[in-house]
Structure 1
Amino acid sequence: MYSGPIIDPHHHLWDLSMGKHPWLLPTDPSVQAVAGLSEIATDYLVDNYVRDSSGHNIVATVHIEALWAGDPVGETRWLETLDKSKGVASRYVGGASLGKPEAADAIARQAAFDRMTGIRGILSWHPDPKKCFVADPELGRNPQWRRDIARLQEYGLNLELMMYPYQAGVVREIAEALPGLQIIINHCGSPIDRDPEGMQRWRDGLKRISACPNIAIKISNPGAYDHNWTLESVRDVAMHCIDCFGTERSMFGTDYPVSKIQMSFDQIYDTFKKIAAVLSPQEQSRLFHDNAKRFYRL
């Protein structure tokens, strides 16, 4: 199995004493789509990540914004104070209130940090309100939101994107309208509905957006929405991502510690290594390391 260097392109850090992550607390109902948040409502810092990842050859990581309350640039300033000697949070994907008046200023200030490679947008709307991350099913077509993601292209930043299969059409529209914008889809495109119809909707959605060469995908948090996950169920999701995007536009990532709700760090990477064992050494290197190095300019 793969034993080479690994770049984890998706994880989070937080210090709850700072009061910037209220969504993790049971008193805040803002993120209903993720069950089991009480299990991860503890500090998660560089030392925690280093401990959890010790069984794998992690050489660098990418920190993804974690719904920081208040000015999102504050999270970036905090990240700048953390120990970088182990490669943790070597690059950042920051936050900005896309579609709101303050977004333009936030994007400009985020872009000024050398480690900043992108801004995350969230389009994850579902017909079931309890599964929604956003209230507007047409957010991806909102002119102000579109204006702000166009700014990312001007600054050379990626658009990191959370979506459900229901947004496949608008994601393709965005990619075609902004062909110079690198879009990176999070969490396998979120196969949230695990019934046969829902899984087919997810498969069709990924196929649709993968036709755009400026879209890549992260096979991250592979146990999300799969409460009885098995090696085979994760393999089905991971291999469909790879079949759609190829090994040139796919990356393995953890989404730790959010993914801890379903899988341990070792389970995530051990599963990835078993799945990837059928691929060539060059293809495995792309998935575990090379693509993340390229997309996040490491």
Structure 2
Amino acid sequence: MLPIIDAHHHIWDLAANRHPWLQEEPPIPFRYGDTRALRRNYLPADLRRDAARQNVIATVYMEAEHDPADPLRETRWVHEVAAREGLPNAMAGAAFLDRADAAEVIRAQAAMPLVRSLRHKPKSVARAGDYDPAHRIPGSLRCPAWRAGYRHLADSGLHFELQTPWWHLPDALELARDFPGTLIILNHLGLPADRSAEGLAAWREAMARLAKAPNLRVKLSGCCVPGRRWTPELQAPVVLEAIRLFGAERCMVASNFPVDGLLASYDEIMDGMRAIIAGLPEADQRRILAGTAAETYRIAL
């Protein structure tokens, strides 16, 4: 079984840390539905149990929307866990790019040994039909204050983790071109939840344009469809199209666990990914399963 680097997962201890999206009532609206099933501790032992069959050789922690008042506290906690448990091997921290302390937080995150990238989910519109590139929504990819904070990433050497729906990918392409020194890692395939012929065609067009920017990588993850179980048949069209557009050298698998555990087991996701890419050359499979993530997050194999 070829080795895997899980390039995007979470851990949390709800007794030790505060995650408003998980703990507050009522639950926030979420693309997969009710999040109450996630209100339990999820620690390295739980991830290792879920991934026991998969030959996972390293992992990358993704910030889990910890208390926004202190994004560095989450980073310090993850370092303590990694020192004790042996994972994660790298991480993406949080920074709020439109806040006055953005530059200070970015510098502090960059000084942490495991931090390779940062995430701040930009504001977006809920539907493709509502997207208007002329609108500069506060906190969005086109927001001047947000972009002013983003500018500091280039000096820090950190990558940016972008989670936004595909209809905002024209903004992402502009961002990539305006700041070519910062690597953007698109989370969750641009969230292609609409699997109608029209929805897939629009997603494909947006991804094809984005692929023209060389400073882009794509995570083959987080592509669950609400109300439907994760299957290779459901996911192959978006996974294989992303690989075709970006190439194996710019694509990496990830579990998004435990969040995607709402609709799939760890084995269903990773066995499914292996099945989807089984027809590719072994060198490409190795890149997608581990090589791209190792290179991107500077993980020694």
Instruction: Give the structure-2-normalised TM-score.
Output: 0.91
1:132 corresponds to which residue?
Answer: none
Deviations 1:115-140 (A, max 9, x none): 100101313623359xxxxx948711
Specify every segment of 5 or more residues in structure 1 that has no aligned partner in the other structure, as ranges.
130-134
Q: Displacement of 1:19 after TM fit?
A: 4.3
> Relative to structure 2, which stretch is displaced further, 47-56 or 138-147?
138-147
Q: Which residue identity is paired with 2:74?
A: E
Query: Could you say what secondary structure the match of 1:205 adopts?
Result: helix
1:297 corresponds to which residue?
Answer: 298
2:80 corresponds to which residue?
Answer: 81
Cα distance change on mapping 1:32 and 1:284 into 2, 3 Å: closer
Matched, 1:24 2:22: yes
Cα distance change on mapping 1:128 and 1:137 into 2, 3 Å: farther
2:132 corresponds to which residue?
Answer: none
Q: Displacement of 1:17 after TM fit?
A: 0.9
2:56 corresponds to which residue?
Answer: 58
8 Å Cα contact 2:193/2:224 also seen in 1: no
- Name the CA distance, whole Å, in 2 between partners of 1:77 and 1:143: 30
Q: How many aligned positions are there?
A: 291
Cα distance change on mapping 1:138 and 1:22 into 2, 3 Å: closer
> Relative to structure 2, which stretch is displaced further, 117-126 or 22-31?
22-31
Q: Displacement of 1:230 after TM fit?
A: 3.1
1:43 corresponds to which residue?
Answer: 41
- Name the CA distance, whole Å, in 2 between partners of 1:137 and 1:148: 13
Matches within 5 A, 1:98-137: 98-123=97-122, 125-128=124-127, 136=137
- Name the CA distance, whole Å, in 2 between partners of 1:24 and 1:16: 9
- Name the CA distance, whole Å, in 1 between partners of 2:138 and 2:281: 40
8 Å Cα contact 2:31/2:226 also seen in 1: no
Deviations 1:241-265 (A, max 9, x none): 1011010100011000001011100
- Name the CA distance, whole Å, in 2 between partners of 1:136 and 1:27: 27
8 Å Cα contact 1:21/1:66 also seen in 2: yes
8 Å Cα contact 2:123/2:137 also seen in 1: no
- Name the CA distance, whole Å, in 1 between partners of 2:287 and 2:235: 19
8 Å Cα contact 1:25/1:37 also seen in 2: no
8 Å Cα contact 1:191/1:225 also seen in 2: no
Specify every segment of 5 or more residues in structure 2 that has no aligned partner in the other structure, as ranges.
129-135
1:95 corresponds to which residue?
Answer: 94
8 Å Cα contact 2:191/2:222 also seen in 1: no
Instruction: Give the structure-1-normalised TM-score.
Output: 0.92
CA RMSD of aligned residues (A): 2.0
Matched, 1:270 2:271: yes
- Name the CA distance, whole Å, in 1 between partners of 2:216 and 2:276: 23
Give percent identity, aligned residues only.
33
8 Å Cα contact 1:76/1:94 also seen in 2: yes
- Name the CA distance, whole Å, in 1 between partners of 2:190 and 2:183: 16
- Name the CA distance, whole Å, in 2 between partners of 1:232 and 1:137: 38
Q: Displacement of 1:226 after TM fit?
A: 6.4
8 Å Cα contact 2:18/2:66 also seen in 1: yes
Q: Which residue identity is paired with 1:61?
A: T
- Name the CA distance, whole Å, in 1 between partners of 2:227 and 2:218: 19
- Name the CA distance, whole Å, in 1 between partners of 2:35 and 2:227: 16
2:202 corresponds to which residue?
Answer: 201
8 Å Cα contact 1:124/1:167 also seen in 2: no
